[in-house]
Structure 1
Amino acid sequence: MITSIAHTTIYVLNQDEALDFYKNKLGFEVGDDMKVEGDFRWLTVYPKSNSQLQLVLAEPKEGPMFTKDSAEKIRSLIEEGAFGAGVFETENCQKTYEELVAKGVEFMQPPTEQLYGVEAMGIDNSGNWFSLVQR
Protein backbone atom coordinates (compact mmCIF):
# COMPACT_ATOMS: atom_id res chain seq x y z
CA MET A 1 0.00 0.00 0.00
CA ILE A 2 1.31 3.46 -0.90
CA THR A 3 1.43 5.68 2.19
CA SER A 4 2.87 8.98 0.92
CA ILE A 5 4.67 10.83 -1.84
CA ALA A 6 8.37 11.34 -1.12
CA HIS A 7 9.51 13.23 -4.24
CA THR A 8 8.06 15.18 -7.12
CA THR A 9 9.93 16.58 -10.11
CA ILE A 10 10.40 20.12 -11.33
CA TYR A 11 12.14 20.31 -14.70
CA VAL A 12 14.70 23.12 -14.83
CA LEU A 13 17.01 24.52 -17.50
CA ASN A 14 20.16 24.46 -15.35
CA GLN A 15 20.49 22.54 -12.08
CA ASP A 16 23.17 24.80 -10.58
CA GLU A 17 21.13 27.93 -11.27
CA ALA A 18 17.93 26.26 -10.03
CA LEU A 19 19.70 25.14 -6.85
CA ASP A 20 20.83 28.72 -6.24
CA PHE A 21 17.28 29.97 -6.77
CA TYR A 22 15.51 27.41 -4.57
CA LYS A 23 18.16 27.54 -1.83
CA ASN A 24 19.15 31.20 -1.71
CA LYS A 25 15.96 32.92 -2.84
CA LEU A 26 13.17 30.59 -1.63
CA GLY A 27 15.12 29.36 1.40
CA PHE A 28 14.89 25.62 0.69
CA GLU A 29 17.33 23.08 2.11
CA VAL A 30 19.35 20.65 -0.03
CA GLY A 31 18.24 17.05 0.37
CA ASP A 32 20.47 15.08 -2.00
CA ASP A 33 23.04 16.21 -4.53
CA MET A 34 24.87 13.38 -6.25
CA LYS A 35 25.94 12.08 -9.62
CA VAL A 36 24.19 8.79 -10.29
CA GLU A 37 25.02 7.55 -13.79
CA GLY A 38 27.29 9.34 -16.23
CA ASP A 39 26.38 13.01 -15.86
CA PHE A 40 22.93 12.29 -14.40
CA ARG A 41 22.58 14.38 -11.24
CA TRP A 42 20.06 13.56 -8.49
CA LEU A 43 19.36 16.93 -6.87
CA THR A 44 16.58 17.49 -4.33
CA VAL A 45 15.46 20.42 -2.19
CA TYR A 46 12.75 20.91 0.40
CA PRO A 47 11.27 23.67 2.56
CA LYS A 48 13.05 23.94 5.93
CA SER A 49 9.82 23.14 7.75
CA ASN A 50 9.05 19.93 5.84
CA SER A 51 11.57 17.40 4.55
CA GLN A 52 8.88 14.77 3.92
CA LEU A 53 8.24 15.90 0.33
CA GLN A 54 11.35 16.75 -1.66
CA LEU A 55 11.47 18.48 -5.02
CA VAL A 56 13.72 16.86 -7.61
CA LEU A 57 15.33 19.61 -9.69
CA ALA A 58 15.80 17.69 -12.93
CA GLU A 59 17.51 19.00 -16.02
CA PRO A 60 16.18 17.18 -19.08
CA LYS A 61 19.15 15.77 -20.98
CA GLU A 62 19.68 12.89 -23.34
CA GLY A 63 20.44 9.88 -21.17
CA PRO A 64 18.77 7.23 -19.07
CA MET A 65 15.40 9.05 -18.86
CA PHE A 66 15.12 10.98 -22.13
CA THR A 67 15.92 10.64 -25.79
CA LYS A 68 17.60 13.68 -27.33
CA ASP A 69 14.30 14.63 -28.97
CA SER A 70 12.19 14.34 -25.80
CA ALA A 71 14.77 16.30 -23.76
CA GLU A 72 14.67 19.10 -26.33
CA LYS A 73 10.86 19.14 -26.28
CA ILE A 74 10.75 19.38 -22.49
CA ARG A 75 13.39 22.13 -22.48
CA SER A 76 11.31 24.04 -25.04
CA LEU A 77 8.20 23.73 -22.86
CA ILE A 78 10.14 24.93 -19.80
CA GLU A 79 11.34 27.96 -21.76
CA GLU A 80 7.71 28.70 -22.76
CA GLY A 81 6.65 28.70 -19.10
CA ALA A 82 4.35 25.72 -19.66
CA PHE A 83 5.06 24.02 -16.32
CA GLY A 84 4.08 24.80 -12.76
CA ALA A 85 6.29 24.04 -9.77
CA GLY A 86 3.30 23.62 -7.48
CA VAL A 87 1.74 25.39 -4.54
CA PHE A 88 3.97 26.62 -1.73
CA GLU A 89 2.17 27.44 1.51
CA THR A 90 3.02 30.29 3.85
CA GLU A 91 1.52 31.66 7.06
CA ASN A 92 1.68 35.24 5.75
CA CYS A 93 1.50 35.64 1.97
CA GLN A 94 2.08 39.42 1.93
CA LYS A 95 5.15 39.21 4.18
CA THR A 96 6.65 36.25 2.28
CA TYR A 97 5.92 37.96 -1.04
CA GLU A 98 7.74 41.11 0.10
CA GLU A 99 10.73 39.07 1.35
CA LEU A 100 10.97 37.15 -1.93
CA VAL A 101 10.61 40.27 -4.09
CA ALA A 102 13.47 41.84 -2.08
CA LYS A 103 15.57 38.78 -2.99
CA GLY A 104 14.79 39.26 -6.69
CA VAL A 105 12.02 36.68 -7.13
CA GLU A 106 9.70 37.62 -9.99
CA PHE A 107 5.93 37.54 -9.48
CA MET A 108 3.20 37.56 -12.10
CA GLN A 109 0.51 38.41 -9.53
CA PRO A 110 0.85 40.08 -6.13
CA PRO A 111 -0.99 38.68 -3.09
CA THR A 112 -4.68 38.64 -3.97
CA GLU A 113 -7.71 37.50 -1.96
CA GLN A 114 -9.15 34.27 -3.37
CA LEU A 115 -11.94 31.95 -2.18
CA TYR A 116 -9.35 29.66 -0.56
CA GLY A 117 -7.10 32.34 0.95
CA VAL A 118 -4.47 34.81 -0.23
CA GLU A 119 -2.41 33.86 -3.28
CA ALA A 120 0.54 35.33 -5.17
CA MET A 121 1.83 33.83 -8.42
CA GLY A 122 5.60 33.65 -8.84
CA ILE A 123 8.02 32.29 -11.37
CA ASP A 124 11.32 30.48 -10.83
CA ASN A 125 14.50 31.19 -12.77
CA SER A 126 13.70 28.47 -15.34
CA GLY A 127 10.25 29.86 -16.12
CA ASN A 128 8.16 27.49 -13.97
CA TRP A 129 5.30 29.28 -12.26
CA PHE A 130 4.36 28.63 -8.65
CA SER A 131 1.55 29.63 -6.38
CA LEU A 132 2.32 31.10 -2.94
CA VAL A 133 -0.73 30.55 -0.74
CA GLN A 134 -1.88 31.59 2.71
CA ARG A 135 -4.97 29.56 3.59
Structure 2
Amino acid sequence: MQQTIGAIALLVPDYDDAIAFYVGKLGFDLIEDTRLSETKRWVLVAPRGSSETRLLLAQADDEDQANAIGNQTGGRVFLFLHTDDFDRDHGQMLANNVEFLENPREESYGKVAVFRDPFGNKWDLIERR
Protein backbone atom coordinates (compact mmCIF):
# COMPACT_ATOMS: atom_id res chain seq x y z
CA MET A 1 0.00 0.00 0.00
CA GLN A 2 1.20 3.51 -0.79
CA GLN A 3 -0.30 6.66 0.67
CA THR A 4 0.61 10.33 0.38
CA ILE A 5 -0.72 13.55 1.83
CA GLY A 6 -2.35 15.20 -1.17
CA ALA A 7 -3.05 18.62 0.32
CA ILE A 8 -2.92 20.62 3.52
CA ALA A 9 -5.60 23.26 4.06
CA LEU A 10 -4.21 26.67 4.92
CA LEU A 11 -6.71 29.27 6.10
CA VAL A 12 -6.27 32.63 4.39
CA PRO A 13 -8.29 35.85 4.46
CA ASP A 14 -8.49 36.19 0.67
CA TYR A 15 -7.80 33.83 -2.23
CA ASP A 16 -6.20 36.40 -4.51
CA ASP A 17 -3.94 37.85 -1.79
CA ALA A 18 -2.78 34.32 -0.95
CA ILE A 19 -2.09 33.51 -4.61
CA ALA A 20 -0.17 36.78 -4.95
CA PHE A 21 2.10 35.78 -2.07
CA TYR A 22 2.58 32.07 -2.72
CA VAL A 23 2.84 32.30 -6.49
CA GLY A 24 4.15 35.84 -6.89
CA LYS A 25 6.64 36.05 -4.01
CA LEU A 26 7.55 32.44 -3.21
CA GLY A 27 7.45 31.26 -6.82
CA PHE A 28 5.03 28.40 -6.20
CA ASP A 29 3.05 26.96 -9.11
CA LEU A 30 -0.68 27.57 -9.25
CA ILE A 31 -1.93 24.02 -9.75
CA GLU A 32 -5.66 24.71 -9.78
CA ASP A 33 -8.08 27.57 -9.22
CA THR A 34 -11.64 26.36 -9.67
CA ARG A 35 -14.73 28.33 -8.64
CA LEU A 36 -17.03 26.08 -6.60
CA SER A 37 -19.68 28.66 -5.69
CA GLU A 38 -20.17 32.40 -5.50
CA THR A 39 -17.82 32.57 -2.49
CA LYS A 40 -15.77 29.36 -2.56
CA ARG A 41 -12.85 28.30 -4.75
CA TRP A 42 -10.60 25.23 -4.86
CA VAL A 43 -7.12 26.78 -4.99
CA LEU A 44 -4.08 24.50 -4.95
CA VAL A 45 -0.48 25.74 -5.00
CA ALA A 46 2.80 23.88 -4.67
CA PRO A 47 6.52 24.65 -4.71
CA ARG A 48 8.10 24.33 -8.14
CA GLY A 49 9.27 20.78 -8.70
CA SER A 50 6.94 19.36 -6.05
CA SER A 51 5.00 16.31 -7.16
CA GLU A 52 2.94 15.31 -4.15
CA THR A 53 1.73 17.56 -1.34
CA ARG A 54 -0.16 20.73 -2.26
CA LEU A 55 -1.43 23.65 -0.21
CA LEU A 56 -5.15 24.18 -0.41
CA LEU A 57 -5.63 27.91 0.08
CA ALA A 58 -8.90 27.98 2.01
CA GLN A 59 -10.55 31.38 2.41
CA ALA A 60 -12.05 31.65 5.89
CA ASP A 61 -15.82 31.74 5.73
CA ASP A 62 -16.80 32.39 9.35
CA GLU A 63 -15.49 34.16 12.44
CA ASP A 64 -13.93 31.05 14.00
CA GLN A 65 -11.97 30.31 10.85
CA ALA A 66 -10.94 33.95 10.48
CA ASN A 67 -9.65 33.93 14.06
CA ALA A 68 -7.46 30.90 13.28
CA ILE A 69 -5.70 32.49 10.28
CA GLY A 70 -1.98 32.55 10.97
CA ASN A 71 -2.30 30.55 14.15
CA GLN A 72 -3.36 27.08 13.04
CA THR A 73 -0.52 25.58 15.09
CA GLY A 74 -0.68 27.80 18.17
CA GLY A 75 2.27 29.95 17.12
CA ARG A 76 4.69 27.17 16.18
CA VAL A 77 6.32 26.77 12.80
CA PHE A 78 3.61 25.22 10.67
CA LEU A 79 5.12 24.36 7.29
CA PHE A 80 8.58 23.31 6.13
CA LEU A 81 9.86 24.33 2.70
CA HIS A 82 12.81 22.17 1.66
CA THR A 83 15.21 23.53 -0.95
CA ASP A 84 18.24 22.25 -2.80
CA ASP A 85 19.89 25.71 -2.59
CA PHE A 86 19.19 27.69 0.58
CA ASP A 87 21.23 30.75 -0.40
CA ARG A 88 19.51 31.07 -3.79
CA ASP A 89 16.00 30.79 -2.37
CA HIS A 90 16.71 32.88 0.72
CA GLY A 91 18.14 35.64 -1.48
CA GLN A 92 15.16 35.55 -3.84
CA MET A 93 12.71 35.62 -0.98
CA LEU A 94 14.49 38.62 0.58
CA ALA A 95 14.38 40.38 -2.81
CA ASN A 96 10.61 39.71 -2.85
CA ASN A 97 10.23 41.24 0.63
CA VAL A 98 9.39 37.98 2.39
CA GLU A 99 9.63 38.58 6.14
CA PHE A 100 12.27 36.46 7.86
CA LEU A 101 12.07 36.26 11.65
CA GLU A 102 15.73 35.32 12.07
CA ASN A 103 19.03 35.13 10.27
CA PRO A 104 19.98 31.83 8.63
CA ARG A 105 21.55 29.34 10.99
CA GLU A 106 23.35 26.01 10.73
CA GLU A 107 21.76 23.09 12.55
CA SER A 108 22.71 19.40 12.65
CA TYR A 109 20.05 18.71 9.99
CA GLY A 110 20.99 21.59 7.67
CA LYS A 111 20.73 25.31 7.02
CA VAL A 112 17.46 26.91 8.17
CA ALA A 113 15.67 30.20 8.75
CA VAL A 114 12.11 30.95 9.88
CA PHE A 115 9.95 33.19 7.73
CA ARG A 116 6.34 34.29 7.98
CA ASP A 117 3.71 34.65 5.31
CA PRO A 118 1.63 37.86 5.34
CA PHE A 119 -1.16 36.01 7.18
CA GLY A 120 1.02 35.08 10.18
CA ASN A 121 1.92 31.45 9.37
CA LYS A 122 5.48 30.53 10.28
CA TRP A 123 7.57 28.48 7.88
CA ASP A 124 11.04 26.96 7.96
CA LEU A 125 13.14 27.33 4.81
CA ILE A 126 15.53 24.36 5.01
CA GLU A 127 18.39 22.96 2.98
CA ARG A 128 18.88 19.49 4.44
CA ARG A 129 22.32 17.98 4.79
CA distance in 1, matches of 2:125, 2:57: 19
Q: Where does the alignment leave 5 or more consecutive residues of structure 1 unmatched? A: 63-68
Is 1:127 the equivalent of 2:120?
yes
Equivalent position of 2:68 in the other structure:
74
Number of paired residues?
Answer: 127
Q: Which digits, 9 at most, give the CA deviation of each residue in 1:18-60, with x for residues without a partner?
A: 1001001110011111121341111110112013211011111
CA distance in 2, matches of 1:34, 1:84: 29
CA distance in 2, matches of 1:19, 1:45: 8
CA shift at 1:75, angstroms?
3.9
Q: Where does the alignment leave 5 or more consecutive residues of structure 2 unmatched? A: none
More helix by share: 1
Q: How does 1:1-135 map onto structure 2 within 5 Å? A: 3-62=3-62, 69-75=63-69, 77=71, 82=75, 84-135=77-128
CA separation of 1:100/1:16 partners in 2, compared to 1, >3 Å: closer, same or farther? same
Q: Report the TM-score, using the length of structure 1 for normalisation.
A: 0.83
Moved over 3 A (4+): 75-78, 81-85
Find the residue that maps to 1:127 and give its secondary structure.
coil
Find the residue that maps to 1:109 and give its secondary structure.
coil
CA separation of 1:11/1:113 partners in 2, compared to 1, >3 Å: closer, same or farther? same
Q: Which digits, 9 at most, give the CA deviation of each residue in 1:47-96, with x for residues without a partner?
A: 1201321101111113xxxxxx4234324847xx8364400011121221
**Aligned AA (2:112):** E
**Aligned AA (1:111):** P
Contact 1:119 1:132 in 2 (8 A): yes
Q: Report the TM-score, using the length of structure 2 for normalisation.
A: 0.86
Find the residue that maps to 1:42 and give its secondary structure.
strand
Contact 1:112 1:120 in 2 (8 A): yes
CA separation of 1:2/1:114 partners in 2, compared to 1, >3 Å: closer, same or farther? same
